[in-house]
Structure 1
Amino acid sequence: MIDYDLELQHHNGALRRAYGIRVSDRVLDIGCGAGQTTREAAQLATRGSVLGIDRSNEMIERARELASATKLGNIEYLCADLERHVLPREHFDVAISRFGTMFFEHPLAAFSNIRSALSPHGRLVMMVWQPRDRNEWATAIEGAFPPAPAGAVSSSTTPPAFSLGDRDVVRRILDAAGFAAPMFEEVHAPVFYGMDVDAAFEFVCGFSTVQDNVARLDSRQRAQAFDRLRRLLTEHQRTDGVWLDSRAWIVAARRG
């Protein structure tokens, strides 16, 4: 079974190397999902602690279940929205996030909250997608579907997944939130969708963007789109699975 952690296996390794977590650090994991990044941070902060936060109660319950199977005693999980939840002031040494910060409806409020929760020498280390047109996994999959009808109104001109892809936008938000000296490291690595085309097709069809596209098609259009999608995945089949290209940023900034 493919999951988000397997999909991002190359990205996760790059981000883990960038953390710089010390053994006594108190770590905040933003948008922790099922908790892989939280558990890995806890393995680094052996004399510290890690708090994983996610808006999805289902993900938090899964994270707690997986953590209970380990011997890590320095992890806590919380289901909360960081745009509104009040964190303890100047408590954390490092705030980390693997693709968990792009979906803030009010990013300035969220990053201001994160900044206030960091100690005076605290740091933010997060991974975000680069712009959509630099991510084959997004453009190629969407290209399997016919364009939306002319005049269709989108709820946003920027897909949420790519809302922090522009470095200038990120700099402005972090500066306004009180962060200093943001640094950007490019991560150019493929995403994994399954060992074969059938597994990849099943995984990709679970994407909300794919489901939205499917919902607006009639049965003939849907069959044609699925055929194009299978051909696309077949073209990206390697001996070690189905992979599509991607580009992300690791953004590191310190509390100003």
Structure 2
Amino acid sequence: MNTPRVDPANAESLRTWDGTDGEYWATNADAFDATLAAYMEPFFETADLRPAERVLDIGCGCGRTTIDAARRTSPGRAMGVDLSAAMLDVARHRAQAEQVANIEFVQADAQVYHFEPGGFDVVLSRFGVMFFADPPTAFANIARALRPGGRVLFAVWQSPAHNTWMQVIRDSLAMGRDLPAPPPDAPGPTSLADPDRVRHLLTGAGLHKVKLTGVRRPACFGTDLESAYEFVSGQPCVRFLLKDLDDAARAEGLAALRATIAEHLTGDGLLLDSAAWFVTAVRH
């Protein structure tokens, strides 16, 4: 498969998402979807998809939202784009297994990909638009893909202060270190946590009626201690927090993470509070 064209600013993102990070999420596709399962019903209620609509799913990953969107809009079409070839392979196999044919998946950088101008009625993203190195350029490109009057729905994370799952992972791996928070506008899970920044970016891209609705749901990271520890301990954010430690300290950090998971287990597994914004807007 040819390497997709990316904005030079996203070259590092391609290396990670089309490398070990993407392979991890592809291997753990079902566990990841279970984490976000409580968001799916309100997400699609907000999307209000209709038959024959054309849907673009940004950062589609392993394709769950794209497949569900394709079903809801048949005989319309759904297109999912992502940087990870491994995750897109999972998405294609899922679509085939579920006999969803009105769908395509493209390995692409949505910041620079040549979408058909006005080719879509709806643009969706389930936690996939927070990683652009140049968000103004990316959102302008995405907006051009919408027909006039077309609409967007992006699910993005609120700040770590509102997401217990982020705090639990970070605190258990601090190991006495003062871990600085990432710059608020740097690419990453919480880069779109600030409502004012989101409004500025989307209006600057040619969208209006920008609205952010807070949604809180429990995130499930596993049904028992072993499944939760296996899933969480392998996540890229955990590897990043451990990478500067020696072997002994790394083992100590993982033991602390395991103990923290055990403390938070419920009868329904590892359920941690999470909070997102559902961002909606309309193209002029």
TM-score range, shorter chain: over 0.9
- Please state whether the residue corresponding to 2:196 is helix, strand or coil: helix
- Please state whether the residue corresponding to 1:87 is helix, strand or coil: coil
Residues 6-26 of structure 1: CA distance to partner in whole angstroms, max 9, x if unpaired? Answer: 111001222121111110100
From 240, 263, 267, the equivalent of 1:235 is 263
Q: Hey, what's the Cα distance between the residues in 1 that align with 2:247 and 2:116?
A: 52
Aligned partners of 2:124 and 2:153 also within 8 Å: yes
Where structure 1 has 5 or more consecutive residues not aligned to the other structure, the ranges are none
Q: Hey, what's the Cα distance between the residues in 1 that align with 2:121 and 2:219?
A: 30
- Please state whether the residue corresponding to 2:174 is helix, strand or coil: coil
From 241, 246, 249, the equivalent of 1:213 is 241
Query: Is 1:177 equivalent to 2:171 in the alignment?
Result: no
State the 4+ residue runs in structure 1 displaced beyond 3 angstroms. Answer: 147-150
RMSD: 1.8
Q: Hey, what's the Cα distance between the residues in 1 that align with 2:251 and 2:53?
A: 52
Aligned length, in residue pairs: 254
Query: 1:165 — aligned with what?
Result: 193
Shift of 1:74: 0.7
- Please state whether the residue corresponding to 1:93 is helix, strand or coil: strand
Q: Hey, what's the Cα distance between the residues in 1 that align with 2:152 and 2:180?
A: 35
Q: Hey, what's the Cα distance between the residues in 2 that align with 1:32 and 1:57?
A: 11
Query: 2:142 — aligned with what?
Result: 114
Q: Hey, what's the Cα distance between the residues in 1 that align with 2:243 and 2:83?
A: 26
Q: Hey, what's the Cα distance between the residues in 2 that align with 1:146 and 1:244?
A: 19
Shift of 1:226: 2.0
From 105, 120, 124, the equivalent of 2:152 is 124
From 67, 78, 83, the equivalent of 2:111 is 83
Query: Please, which moves more after superposition, 134-143 or 207-216?
Result: 207-216
Aligned partners of 2:130 and 2:192 also within 8 Å: yes
Query: 2:219 — aligned with what?
Result: 191
Where structure 2 has 5 or more consecutive residues not aligned to the other structure, the ranges are 1-27
Query: Is 1:245 equivalent to 2:273 in the alignment?
Result: yes
From 41, 53, 57, the equivalent of 1:29 is 57
Q: Hey, what's the Cα distance between the residues in 1 that align with 2:256 and 2:219?
A: 19
Residues 139-196 of structure 1: CA distance to partner in whole angstroms, max 9, x if unpaired? Answer: 111001236867x998x51361000011000000001111101111111011111111
Q: Structure 1 residues 153, 242: CA separation in 2 closer, same or farther (over 3 Å shift)? A: closer
Query: Please, which moves more after superposition, 137-146 or 217-226?
Result: 217-226
Partner amino acid for 1:157? Answer: P
Q: Hey, what's the Cα distance between the residues in 2 that align with 1:148 and 1:231?
A: 16
Shift of 1:198: 1.3
From 63, 70, 81, the equivalent of 2:91 is 63
Percent identity of paired positions between Structure 1 and Structure 2: 37
